[in-house]
Amino acid sequence: MVMSKKKLAAAPRSVTILGSTGSVGCSTIDLITRNPDEYIVEALTARRNVDVLIEQAKRLRPRFVAISDETKFSALKAGLSGLDIEVAAGADAVVAAAERPAEFVMAAIVGSAGLSPTLAAVRRGAMIGLANKECLVCAGALMMAEIRRHGAVLLPVDSEHNAIFQVFDFDRPDAIDKLILTASGGPFRTLDLEAMREVTPAQAVKHPNWDMGDKISIDSATMMNKGLEVIEAHYLFDMPESRIEVLVHPQSVVHSLVAYRDGSVLAQLGPPDMRTPIAYALAWPGRMPVPQEKLDLAAMSDLTFEAPDPDRFPALRLAREALKNGGSAPTVLSAANEIAVDGFLTGRIGFLNIAEIVEDVLSKFDHQRFETLDDVRNCDFSARRLAESVLDGLTARSSVGAGE
């Protein structure tokens, strides 16, 4: 259940942006500044990009600004001195930002760090624009139960889930046969395994269609992002893993599809611009103009689809297995992937080692079932420690091999 009959406030809509300096956060701000009479900003948060956060706060004049990295607090406070803006730092301050009385919260903090603040917004019954995969991957059952309990509204911002949301018949879910998530295939869609073994972080973050942050770009290159999206779709739309399909669609025009039992297949199409799904969530249940070139189907030579290659992109298989196993497996998958991606970005491991580390951690972890959010946090912490150990061992073996 992702929808609600709750009464919406009249314009202007108050907005909090968790992760305002990232790509989704910046796109959200771009749309808000183009519609100044429709939105006011309650709070902004960032992890450590204090200079951009200060510039955003000066422009938008929120009531509250928080930075997660406490070492940046002095710079933030000095940069906003003289303005009527409350300033804070630390993880608790980010949660406090989510608890403030904004009608809409854009949850755009990357990784498991976004779980607590997003849940805080859910528990006060806010409307959530969800751009954080890990909230549902790590704690999907708990998160959806809290959404139902507190009457929150969850609006998916990932382009694929947003596309499904727009064409999903919530009144007649039994009429749906399957969901079809599309994937661009990333920058290495046509490379063979040997070539993929040698790719660099600089090559991996250059997505052919989308402008995203480094971590999400690497997940796209490994296709782990699509695996995480399968898990998200399971929780968002109450759909079993066996009825969630993935197709590679290099043009990134068809953002996802819903197949109905009568043979109809409904799709949402649009240019590869994250401002489209962000705008849909920001203006829901209405729509707002987006400053982009409109889709011209007549000008397109072709739209192609193909099955993903399981040998070159094992991350998709790992995510499906984690979803089927349930319990702590998806949380471990996400935590191990974050550690492995960081290891690749910092030059400690190769590109193909990312999935290898995730699989190794999944096989070694003592899995369990979750009852509380603390269970999720403890599992995430333990999985990260194990992943670091596996990564260190792999790095040490590589160093010995290089020395020989």
Which of 161-165, 262-266, 364-368 has the least mean pLDDT?
364-368
Domains assigned to the chain: 13-157 (3.40.50.720), 160-271+294-309 (no CATH), 326-404 (1.10.1740.10)
Percent of residues, the chain, with pLDDT higher than 70: 94
Q: What phi and psi values does residue 124 have, to the nearest 5 degrees?
A: -105, 10
Q: pLDDT tens digits, residue range 110-154?
A: 877 899 999 999 999 999 999 988 899 999 999 999 999 999 999
What confidence tier does 400 reach under pLDDT thresholds 50, 70, 90?
A: very low
Closest CA to 274 of 113, 128, 162: 162
Which of 39-53, 92-106, 201-215, 360-374 has the least mean pLDDT?
201-215
Whether residue 341 is predicted with pLDDT greater than 50 in this model: the reply is: yes
Q: What phi and psi values does residue 210 have, to the nearest 5 degrees?
A: -110, 150
Give Cα separations from 106 to 100, 118, 345 (angstroms): 13, 9, 27
Helix axes 214-222, 224-237, angle to 10 degrees: 90
Give the burial class of 177: count Cβ atoms within 10 A of its Cβ; 0-12 exposed, 13-18 middle, 19 or more buried: middle
SS3 of residue 239 by DSSP? coil
Rounded Cα distance, 184 and 319, in Å: 18
Q: Where do we find the tokens 């782990």?
A: 224
> Which residues does residue 320 pair with via DSSP β-bridges, in sequence order?
none
> Which residues does residue 16 pair with via DSSP β-bridges, in sequence order?
43, 105
Averaged pLDDT for residues 320-328 = 96
Q: Residue type for 327, please? A: G
Averaged pLDDT for residues 49-71 = 97
* Average pLDDT across the chain, whole number: 92
Helix axes 353-364, 224-237, angle to 10 degrees: 50
Report pLDDT for 210.
60
Instruction: Return all residues near 19 (Cβ < 8 A) that are at least 6 apart.
Output: 25, 45, 46, 47, 106, 107, 108, 109, 110, 114, 131, 132
Q: Which two tokens stand for residue 206?
A: 């250059």
Q: How far apart are the first and last CA of the chain?
A: 57
Q: pLDDT tens digits, residue range 10-51?
A: 679 999 999 999 999 999 999 999 999 999 999 999 999 999
Closest CA to 380 of 142, 219, 154: 142
Closest CA to 268 of 278, 260, 258: 258
Report pLDDT for 169.
97
Averaged pLDDT for residues 259-263 = 97
Contacts 24+ apart (CB under 8 A), 341-348: 341/215, 341/218, 341/219, 342/215, 343/391, 343/395, 344/201, 344/204, 344/218, 345/201, 345/214, 345/215, 345/218, 347/201, 348/391, 348/395
H-state helical runs in 67-183 = 73-79, 91-99, 115-123, 134-150, 159-167
Report pLDDT for 327.
94
Q: Where do we find the tokens 């260190």?
A: 392
Give Cα separations from 142 to 3, 62, 147, 158, 374 (angstroms): 17, 31, 9, 20, 11
Report pLDDT for 299.
87
Q: What phi and psi values does residue 130 have, to the nearest 5 degrees?
A: -90, 110
Q: Which two tokens stand for residue 180?
A: 């079809």
CB 349 within 8 A of CB 357: yes
Report pLDDT for 84.
96
Closest CA to 251 of 316, 300, 298: 300
**How many Cα atoms occupy the beta-carbon half-sphere of 38 within 13 Å?**
15
**How many Cα atoms occupy the beta-carbon half-sphere of 332 within 13 Å?**
27
Q: Which two tokens stand for residue 22?
A: 């990232």
Report pLDDT for 1.
45
Q: What phi and psi values does residue 174 have, to the nearest 5 degrees?
A: -65, -15
Q: Which two tokens stand for residue 8?
A: 């919406």
